[in-house]
Amino acid sequence: MNNTVGDVYTEELAELFQQQGQLLYDGQHSLCLNTPCLHFLQKRFSAIQERSTDPVPAKFAVLHCLQGCLAKVVSLKLITDKQMTLASTATLNLEPFRALHTLVLKKVSLVNVTGLQRLRSQLRVLVIQRCHVNNIDDVIVRCGGDDSTSFVWDSLNWTSPVTT
């Protein structure tokens, strides 16, 4: 995703949160992002952290707002977009989503997903659809790209069968 398209997307996403944010925060609706968009946002969030002492231009103000909004989202669906592909080494970090209870991953390579380990204690629903998974341990034990060790999923009530 190039900067121009990404910046337009960022502004539209911020506008969506202003108009419909409460529906995403209370779980009435699920936020659906494609993987290139999440990756673009991650790169922009990193830029904010690197420039934390500089004056905040308008773009950074929008990104700060988006960070706060994403932290309140209760349900997320992350999908791969066939038209906009990512490099096979691109990381998809779920850490901005601090309030997630429901996570749907569709056609996402789990080795690229990080931040899942931190969500184990709060996720109630985990759906894996047509993802590249060798076995259930890749999700439940190793937590995708986190490559962690066995740990308790305190709140998990339901998970979909893993299908490849």
What predicted TM-score, i.e. pTM, was given to this entire model?
Answer: 0.86
Residue 126 in any domain: the answer is yes
Per-residue pLDDT, 143: 84
Residue 63 in any domain: the answer is yes
Residue 164 in any domain: the answer is no
Q: Which of 92-101, 114-123, 124-133 has the lowest mean pLDDT?
A: 124-133
- 4's tokens: 């121009």
pLDDT average, residue stretch 126-150: 82
- 107's tokens: 């056609």
Residue 72 in any domain: the answer is yes
Sign of the Cα torsion 38, 33, 159, 152 reads positive
Residue 95 in any domain: the answer is yes
Task: Indicate the average pLDDT of the chain.
Answer: 84
**Tally of domains in the chain:** 1
> Residue 30 pLDDT > 90, yes or no?
yes
- 74's tokens: 């209760």
Residue 64 in any domain: the answer is yes
Residue 30 in any domain: the answer is yes
More confident call, 136 vs 31: 31
> Residue 88 pLDDT > 80, yes or no?
no
Residue 19 in any domain: the answer is yes
Range of the domain at 123: 3-159
Residues 6 or more apart whose Cβ sits within 8 Å of residue 40: 1, 6, 9, 10
